[in-house]
Amino acid sequence: MSAACKQVCIVYHSPYGHTERVARAIAEGARQVANTQVHVMSVEHVDWHALDHADVIVFGSPTYMGSVTSGFKLFMDATSKRWKNRLWVGKLAAGFANSGGLSGDKLAVLQQICLFAMQHGMLWSGIPLMPTGHTENDLNRLSGFLGLMTQSDNAPVEQTPPKGDIETAKWFGKYLAGLV
């Protein structure tokens, strides 16, 4: 592996698998950029070494009661020593939120994740992709700009989030990897 290899980490919480599906789509997009190594990890199995050496960290959580999940909040709290030692200052950060509803208060989750990244001294990237429409096949159909917003119906992971949301996640991953 060359010294010029970009390191992208995606850390998420996904109790039912829908948010993990989005994380893996972001990773697929990031891998399209040459010299990019991608690490995808659940908050239950954090690779702290990879996070500390990443150029980009993408944080993702489902939206529960207008907030990140308790599992994701535990991860956030576990970063306190990194915060104190300023280990993530200057790293590129981004976020994604998934919910059952079209709105589902995903914006509140993205704001929470953004604030968390700012407290770490990270540099935030939103998603500058204009919506191509509002159907399930369209890119950025939920018009998220602070971060990636996806929506999962009450259906198996193989069926939801829909194609447009997954394609938007791939676009976002490629975009983020291309920034560093």
13 within domain boundaries: yes
Model pLDDT for residues 109-141, shown as the tens digit of each residue: 999 999 999 999 999 999 999 999 999 999 999
Predicted pLDDT of residue 155: 87
156 within domain boundaries: yes
63 within domain boundaries: yes
Q: How far apart are CA 87 and CA 143, in angstroms?
A: 32
1 within domain boundaries: no
Nearest Cα to Cα of residue 79 among 56, 102, 113: 113
165 within domain boundaries: yes
Considering its fold, how many domains does the chain have in total? 1
142 within domain boundaries: yes
For residue 45, what are the domain limits?
6-179
User: What CATH number is given to the structural domain containing 118?
Assistant: 3.40.50.360
Burial of 23 (0-12, 13-18, 19+ CB in 10 A): buried
More confident of the two residues 3 and 132? 132
**Strand pairing partners for 131?**
none
Question: Is the pTM here over 0.85, yes or no?
Answer: yes
Model pLDDT for residues 19-54, shown as the tens digit of each residue: 999 999 999 999 999 999 999 999 999 999 999 999
The answer to whether 112 touches 76, Cβ cutoff 8 Å, is no
